[in-house]
C-alpha cells in the first residue's frame, strides 16, 4: 500500500515537472518587456544574459501613473546626458559590455555604441532598432537609455537578444490621469474601475524570470503536499 502511494506520488511529480519544462525553457530566453522610469539626467540599462549576436527592440515614451515593472533593468546615475531643450524623448544606446560600463561610469570620458542601433543624436519618443542580419561574433549586448529631460520619464520597452525571437508587443499602460477644469460633484462618485491593463508577461532583467520559476516550483510543492495529504488520508481510511 505504501509502495503504491509512493509510485503515484512519483508519477504525479514527474508529470508536474514535465509540464513545467516548456515554461522554464521560454523564460530562459533573453527576451524582456516592461515599463521603466528614469529620473532626470539618469540612465537605465539592460544587458543580455548570454552572449548573443542580435538585438531587436522597441522603446516608447509613455505618460502613466503606473509603477514601473519590478526588476526590469537597472537605474544608475550614469553619464550626465546632453540637454536638448524643447525636444522631448529619451536617448538610446546599443552597445556591448565594455560600452555599457563606460556609459554608466560618471567618470568615463566617452563611451562606445552602435550608432545604427541607437537613437543617440536627438531624444526620441519612439525608437525601434534591429540587428538583422545579426553580428558575426557573439558578445554580451546591452541597451542603455538616458533621460536628458528635467523630469522623470517613463517608457515601455520590449527587447529580444535572441535571433529568431521577436520582441513582445509593447506593454499597454493606462494613460496618466489629467486634470479637467470642471469639478467633479462629490455626490456622483463614479465606481472605480479596474484600470490595470492586461499586459503581456514580463520577463525580468535581473533574475531572468527566476521569480516566475520560483512560483512555478512553489505551485508544484503545493500540489505535491495536497496530493500527499489526500493519499495519506485515503491510506488511513482504507486501513481502518
Ligand atoms: C566592445 O566593442 C569594442 C569596440 O569594438 C571592443 O574594443 C571591445 O573589446 C568590445 N568588448 C566586448 C566585451 O565585446
Ligand atoms: C490636479 O491639479 C491639482 C492642482 O492643480 C494638483 O494638485 C493635482 O496633483 C492634479 N492631479 C493630477 C492627477 O494631475
> Cβ atoms within 10 A of the Cβ of 68, count?
18
Q: Which of 51, 96, 110, 114 to mutate for ligand 1's pocket (most ligand atoms within 8 Å of CB)?
A: 96
Question: What pLDDT digit, counting tens, does each position of 132-173 carry?
Answer: 999 999 999 999 999 999 999 999 999 999 999 999 999 999
Does residue 181 have its Cβ closer than 6 Å to ligand 2? no
What cell numbers appear for 77 in the block?
546615475
Residue 59: its H or E element: strand 56-62
Average of pLDDT values for 228-232?
77
Distance between CA atoms of residues 69 and 47, nearest Å: 16
Nearest CA to ligand 1 atom 8: 98
Domain membership flag for residue 181: no
Whether ligand 1 lies within 6 angstroms of the CB of 97 is answered as yes
Residue 185 lies inside a defined structural domain of this protein: no
Number of separate domains in the chain = 2
Q: What angle do CA 207, 146, 31 make, to 5 degrees?
A: 30
Nearest residue (by CA) to ligand 1, atom 7, is: 98
Determine the length of the chain: 240
- Whether residues 223 and 122 share a domain: the answer is no
- 56 and 139, same domain (yes or no): yes
117 neighbors 55 (Cβ within 8 angstroms)? yes
Ligand nearest 101 Cα, by number?
Answer: 1
What pTM did the predictor assign? Answer: 0.65
Residue 150 covered by a domain: yes
For ligand 1, pick from 99, 100, 108, 117 the residue to mutate: most ligand atoms within 8 Å of CB.
99
Do 203 and 222 lie in one domain? The reply is no
Q: Do 77 and 124 share a structural domain?
A: yes
Written as nine digits, the cell of 221 is 510543492
74 and 23 together in one domain: no
Q: How far apart are CA 156 and CA 44, in angstroms?
A: 12
| 79 located within any domain | yes
pLDDT at 227: 77
Asked if residue 177 has its Cβ within 6 Å of ligand 2, the reply is yes
**Structural domain boundaries enclosing 217:** 1-28+210-240
115 lines ligand 2 (CB under 6 A): no
**pLDDT tens sequence across 194-228:** 333 222 222 222 233 333 344 455 566 667 777 77
Asked whether residue 15 falls in the same domain as residue 70, the answer is no
- For 228, list phi and psi in degrees, rounded to 5: -60, -45
Flag whether pLDDT at 193 surpasses 50.
no
Amino acid at each position: 500500500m505504501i509502495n503504491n502511494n509512493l509510485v503515484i506520488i512519483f508519477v504525479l511529480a514527474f508529470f508536474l515537472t514535465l509540464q513545467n519544462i516548456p515554461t522554464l525553457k521560454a523564460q530562459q530566453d533573453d527576451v524582456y518587456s516592461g515599463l521603466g522610469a528614469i529620473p532626470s539626467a539618469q540612465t537605465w540599462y539592460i544587458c543580455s544574459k548570454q552572449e548573443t549576436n542580435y538585438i531587436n527592440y522597441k522603446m516608447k515614451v509613455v505618460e502613466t501613473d503606473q509603477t514601473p515593472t519590478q526588476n526590469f533593468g537597472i537605474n544608475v546615475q550614469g553619464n550626465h546626458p546632453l540637454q536638448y531643450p524643447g525636444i522631448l524623448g529619451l536617448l538610446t544606446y546599443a552597445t556591448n559590455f565594455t560600452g555599457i560600463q563606460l556609459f554608466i561610469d560618471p567618470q568615463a570620458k566617452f563611451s562606445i555604441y552602435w550608432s545604427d542601433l541607437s537613437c543617440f543624436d536627438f531624444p526620441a519618443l519612439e525608437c525601434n532598432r534591429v540587428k538583422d542580419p545579426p553580428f558575426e561574433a557573439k558578445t554580451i549586448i546591452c541597451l542603455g537609455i538616458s533621460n536628458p529631460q528635467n523630469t522623470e520619464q517613463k517608457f515601455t520597452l520590449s527587447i529580444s537578444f535572441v535571433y529568431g525571437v521577436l520582441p513582445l508587443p509593447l506593454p499597454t499602460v493606462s494613460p496618466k490621469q489629467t486634470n479637467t477644469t470642471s469639478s467633479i460633484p462629490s455626490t456622483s462618485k463614479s465606481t472605480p474601475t479596474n484600470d490595470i491593463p492586461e499586459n503581456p508577461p514580463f520577463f525580468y532583467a535581473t533574475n531572468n524570470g527566476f521569480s516566475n520559476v520560483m512560483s512555478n516550483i512553489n505551485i508544484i510543492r503545493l500540489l505535491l503536499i495536497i496530493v500527499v495529504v489526500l493519499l495519506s488520508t485515503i491510506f488511513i481510511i482504507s486501513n481502518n
